[in-house]
Homo-oligomer: A and B are copies of this chain.
């Protein structure tokens, strides 16, 4: 049985962990990952340096965890919104989903920067490999996008096409939101969506 002592201790533990996550996130987003020293993180979090190494292998460990966690949140949120919308067409649902994510990043430019520079497919592959994790996400994805019929793309090409859709969206979102290049995101969106429709149509 878990005693009151144990739970107290675990609470404290979680508190420390959270304060490190928060501090790191804040710093990564404002100064960038490379410009953030572990010293900065622990000072901001109010813990000792050793504590950091108690929980993380190095800076890239905490970076990965943060990026993965945040991106999961964003994706889940977008899926929930898409589901709630009750769109029964695959392409429309995809566009709605993408729009939702883009809108999120329009309001979180710094976060976008962090995600874009530090999120890799490899990271996702590793995360998904753990079956305990990500069951909810997989279930969600199935619910939202299972209606494959809506796409004109052949089944065997759909995965690769979806990969391209995602990569394209990422590139365009990053470039237009962060650099306003070649145009601000709101000018890019219609063309992006038109393109995506063509890709999936």
Q: Please, how many residues of chain A have a CB less than 8 angstroms from a CB on the other chain? A: 27
Known: A122-B179, A164-B195. A171 touches B170 (CB 8 A): yes
A160→B188 contact, CB < 8 A: yes
Chain A 169-201, CB-CB to B under 8 Å as 1, else 0, gives 011100100010111000110011001001101
Which among B125, B168, B182 is the interface contact of A160 at CB below 8 angstroms? Answer: B182
When C-beta atoms are compared, the residue in chain B nearest to A188 turns out to be: B160
Is A19 interfacial (CB 8 A cutoff)? Answer: no
Is A70 interfacial (CB 8 A cutoff)? Answer: no
B195→A161 contact, CB < 8 A: yes
Which among B164, B182, B198, B199 is the interface contact of A159 at CB below 8 angstroms? Answer: B182
Interface residues of A (CB under 8 A from B): 121-122, 125, 157, 159-161, 163-164, 167-168, 170-172, 175, 179, 181-183, 187-188, 191-192, 195, 198-199, 201
Question: A-B pairs with the 5 shortest C-beta distances?
Answer: A167-B171, A198-B198, A168-B168, A163-B182, A121-B181
Show 16 A/B contacts (Cβ-Cβ < 8 Å), sorted by A: A121-B181, A121-B182, A125-B181, A157-B191, A159-B182, A160-B182, A160-B187, A160-B188, A161-B195, A164-B195, A167-B168, A167-B171, A168-B168, A168-B171, A171-B171, A198-B201
